[in-house]
């Protein structure tokens, strides 16, 4: 299980972000400049991590994955539109087509 992370105020600037869920592409996205992550370790002892900058961005990015969100879902309108155009050009919006080697069924 996981609990929400506490994100600080959003960074004033958009920063380029990429992900293997959308390989080879990068888009600008605002994230919190700092985060606090709390949980327990394998021995059920409390853990608290305070992160800033790039490290905070990584926590937010990966936490989104735990909630079924990829970074393109959070893009501002123009960047999101561009991402969907790329997706269409690569055929990722068609059933049975993916970027995973060996999983595409292109014979149909």
Do the domain assignments include residue 23?
A: yes
pLDDT in tens, 72-104: 999 999 999 999 999 888 887 777 666 555 555
Do the domain assignments include residue 99?
A: no
Task: Give the pLDDT confidence score for residue 1 in this predicted structure.
Answer: 47
Q: For position 65, which CATH number holds?
A: 3.90.45.10
Sign of CA dihedral 74, 86, 81, 106: negative
DSSP code at position 74: G
This prediction has a pTM of: 0.74
- The mean of the pLDDT values for the chain is 83
Do the domain assignments include residue 50?
A: yes
Task: Give the pLDDT confidence score for residue 14 in this predicted structure.
Answer: 77
Domain containing residue 83: 6-89
Do the domain assignments include residue 102?
A: no
* Enzyme catalytic residues: 62
Do the domain assignments include residue 103?
A: no
Predicted confidence (pLDDT) at residue 106 exceeds the cutoff of 60: no
């Amino acid at each position: 299980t996981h609990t929400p992370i506490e994100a600080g105020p959003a960074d004033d600037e958009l920063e380029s972000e990429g992900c293997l869920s959308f390989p080879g592409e990068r888009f600008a996205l605002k994230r919190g400049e700092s985060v606090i992550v709390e949980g327990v370790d394998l021995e059920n002892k409390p853990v608290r991590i305070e992160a800033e900058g790039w490290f905070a961005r990584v926590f937010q990015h990966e936490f989104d994955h735990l909630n079924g969100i990829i970074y393109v879902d959070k893009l501002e309108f123009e960047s999101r539109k561009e991402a969907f155009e790329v997706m269409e050009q690569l055929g990722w919006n068609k059933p049975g087509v993916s970027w995973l080697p060996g999983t595409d069924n292109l014979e149909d």
